[in-house]
Amino acid sequence: MNLLTFYKLFYKHRLQKASVMLKVYLILIIPIKYLVNYFYMERKKNLDDYSNKNMFLYNKDLNYLFEYFNSDKGEKFTNQYTHPSKKNNQLIQAHGYSKFYENIFLSIKNEKINVLEIGSFYGNASAALYYYFKNAKIFGADINPDMFNYSSKRIESFYVNSSSLESIKANIIDKKIQFKIIIEDASHMLKDQIISLFYLFPIIEEGGYFIVEELDFPETREDMRIDQHLPDLKQILKNIQKKQDFKSPYIDDDVKKYLMENIDSINFYKGNINEMAIIKKK
């Protein structure tokens, strides 16, 4: 994690709301805080090398792997959203999505596929998926790719801003890669969830899956929908289930038509904290 990312994660919002005196103080203290935290940051791990001494991981279920690599998709994890220097080993409740993933992933876990996670953060979920899908190529996309802590011949991490359709096109769609699975776990903003699903759905393989985590954020958190226009993605998906039309300023008619004609199923699940949707392609 570089200094700029450290600032954006932990101090940007504070600086924007601070008084003049507090801004001066924060500007002076942030580089010092970064240096202190730098020594607590995890170093990048090569999973190909790590596998030589940890082959047992290839035989573990998905929840075990999520918890082993401290992803919040499992049942328990340690807080990864605080300063590295403040991290501890106390387990707290995580989203608990692993059981829903296991139900759909088990039958394809040995296939040679491409899996994309948008909003990879430290890459903990990508590391878990590396071992679960032992023949897959794992792609981790994030607005701060310098945070990604893993490397491998089967892992690729790169930049994408999921708030920008232009960035999605340039950094994902233009790669001309078909994905069996796309997991959207990025900003959770109302607009971003919509454009990610509708514009990335065409690059999912037949019978593949698009998964939206924290689907209910725009519904339950005002900061996830400020200056954005309803309906949110949850309501759109419910309309599609009922074969009811909808209008959204964030998608073109042809993109809307493609998705509606190529959806096989939509299923909603409630994790320990938030909701998710799994959309299967025909």
For 107-166, write each residue's pLDDT tens digit.
999 999 999 999 999 999 999 999 999 999 999 999 999 999 999 999 999 999 999 999
Q: Is the pTM of this model over 0.85?
A: yes
Q: How much is the pLDDT for 14? A: 84
Residue pair 25/169 in contact (Cβ under 8 Å)? The answer is no
Q: How much is the pLDDT for 146? A: 95
SS3 state at 177 = coil
List of the chain residues with pLDDT < 70:
none
Q: How much is the pLDDT for 44? A: 93
Q: How much is the pLDDT for 65? A: 98
Q: How much is the pLDDT for 3? A: 94
DSSP one-letter code for 75: S
Q: Please list, residue by residue across 74-106, b when 16 or more beta carbons sit within 10 angstroms of its beta carbon and e when fewer do.
A: bbbbeeeeeebeebeeeeeebbbbbebbeeebe
Give the pairing of strands 45-46 and 150-151. Answer: parallel
Q: How much is the pLDDT for 55? A: 95
DSSP one-letter code for 173: G
User: What domains appear along the chain, each with residue ranges and CATH number?
Assistant: 3-38 (no CATH), 45-281 (3.40.50.150)
Backbone angles phi, psi at 277, to 5 degrees: -130, 140
State how far the Cα of 45 lies from the Cα of 122, in Å rounded to an integer: 11
Q: How much is the pLDDT for 19? A: 85
Which of 252, 282, 275, 269 is CA-nearest to residue 100? 269
Cis peptide bond upstream of 249, omega within 30: no
Q: How much is the pLDDT for 111? A: 96
